[in-house]
Amino acid sequence: MRVALLSGGTGGAKLACGLLDVVGAENLTVIANTGDDAWVHGAHVSPDPDLVTYWLADAIDERGYGIRGDSWRVMDALGAAGRPTWFRLGDRDLALCLIRSELLRDGATLTEAHAAVVTAMEVEARVLPMCDEPAPTTVEARGRTLPFQEFMIVEQARGPLEGVGLAGAAPAPVGASASDLGDDRDGPQPTAAVLAALADADAIVIGPSNPIASIAPILALPGLRSALTEARAPIVAVSPFVGGAVLKGPTKLFCEFAGIEPSAIGVAGFYSGLIDGVVADEPVAGPALVTPTLLDSPEARRTVAAQVLELAATLGAN
């Protein structure tokens, strides 16, 4: 079974590991959010594609980001020189970002440049940036418009939110439905590789990532939502809420800003009209599988991944 996974960072990356174990690297394509991308310390940083790659390489640090066992000499040197180090990259992490940056400066696409990072980490599954063009997510809070990483790290994701800009658009209110995103606007385009992965998939999965900050930037790309609705594969979303709570990140903050109930029911409502089924640990309306969704071990990740694909197979047979 060929699987295309739409993913942000941690939740989607964990599910990607489970899917890797179930279907194998040759059948897994991860389409990763690049709205968080930034140039930092002279290097192009692509947080979500990198996070997915490090998880798939079984190299993720215990902090949940970066590379396990990394050193920090470059950051220490920058700090000693009085340079800003609010965005901290370990030495190996920075080296991989520099590989990508050199290729970009030489004219490679982001897809090609990130493929070099994937290869360097000896990952065989495909990890595709959602687009090759810059598609920044911005956040308006307390009268200031901030790049996403600055909002998350420097501002520590403090609300209230006043606007969110997706795929390079100016910050604005975000509706409580994914059907409001994407196709009727100009902007960065999904790559041919992304569109082909969706068209060829036997199952399309929306990972348990922040619906607004991580998945909406992908859905906001012109033509992406149409590609999903035209795909032959069933589409299954996995709720990021576990036991009614968020395990990591400001998912609740962004959901409340968009008028989405911060629950599996709210997430299912947001994706309504786009998906065929939901996997969650609480009952939701429509085709759904209610099962434990905590992805805290390799065994749990494999189990949830297998259940997601079983639901997709059932939906595809109907």
Length of the chain: 318
pLDDT band at 285 (very low <50, low <70, confident <90, very high): confident
Q: What is the token pair recorded at 127?
A: 């990890």
CB 301 within 8 A of CB 58: no
Average pLDDT over residues 64-78: 96
User: Of 5, 36, 61, which is closest to residue 201 (Cα–Cα)?
Assistant: 5
**Assessment of whether the complete model's pTM goes beyond 0.85:** yes
**Topology of domain 3-133+178-317, CATH:** Rossmann fold (3.40.50)
User: Cβ(182)–Cβ(222) under 8 Å?
Assistant: yes
Name residue, tokens 């980001």.
65
pLDDT at 278: 97
Would you state the structure tokens that stand for residue 48, as one six-digit string?
């979500």
Q: Give the chain's mean pLDDT.
A: 93
- Each domain of the chain, given as residue ranges in start order, spans 3-133+178-317
Tell me whether residue 122 is exposed, middle or buried, using C-beta atoms within 10 angstroms of its C-beta: 0 to 12, 13 to 18, 19 or more. Answer: exposed
Please check the confidence at residue 303 and state whether its pLDDT lies above 90.
Answer: yes
Tens-place pLDDT, residues 72-129: 999 999 999 999 999 999 999 999 999 999 999 999 999 999 999 999 999 999 999 9
Out of 105-109, 139-143, 195-199, which region has the weakest mean confidence (pLDDT)?
Answer: 139-143
Where residue 186 falls among pLDDT bands split at 50, 70, 90? Answer: confident
β pairing state of 138-141 and 241-242: unpaired
49 Cα distance to chain centroid: 7
Res 182: pLDDT: 65
Query: 170 pLDDT band (50/70/90 cuts)?
Result: confident
* Cα(227)–Cα(207) distance, integer angstroms: 17
pLDDT of residue 309 exceeding 80, the answer is yes
Predicted local distance difference test score (pLDDT) of residue 183 = 59
DSSP letters for the chain: --EEEEE-SHHHHHHHHHHHHHH-GGGEEEEE--TT-EEETTEEE-HHHHHHHHHHTT-B-TTSSSBTT---HHHHHHHHTT---SS---HHHHHHHHHHHHHHHTT--HHHHHHHHHHHTT--SEEEESBSS----EEEETTEEEEHHIIIIISTT-S-EEEEE-TTPPPB---S-GGGSSTTS--PPBPHHHHHHHHH-SEEEE-SS-IIIIIHHHHTSTTHHHHHHH-SS-EEEE-SEETTEESSSSHHHHHHHTT--SSHHHHHHHTTTT-SEEEESS--SSSEEE------SHHHHHHHHHHHHHHHHHHHH-
Q: How many Å separate Cα 121 from the centre of its chain? A: 19
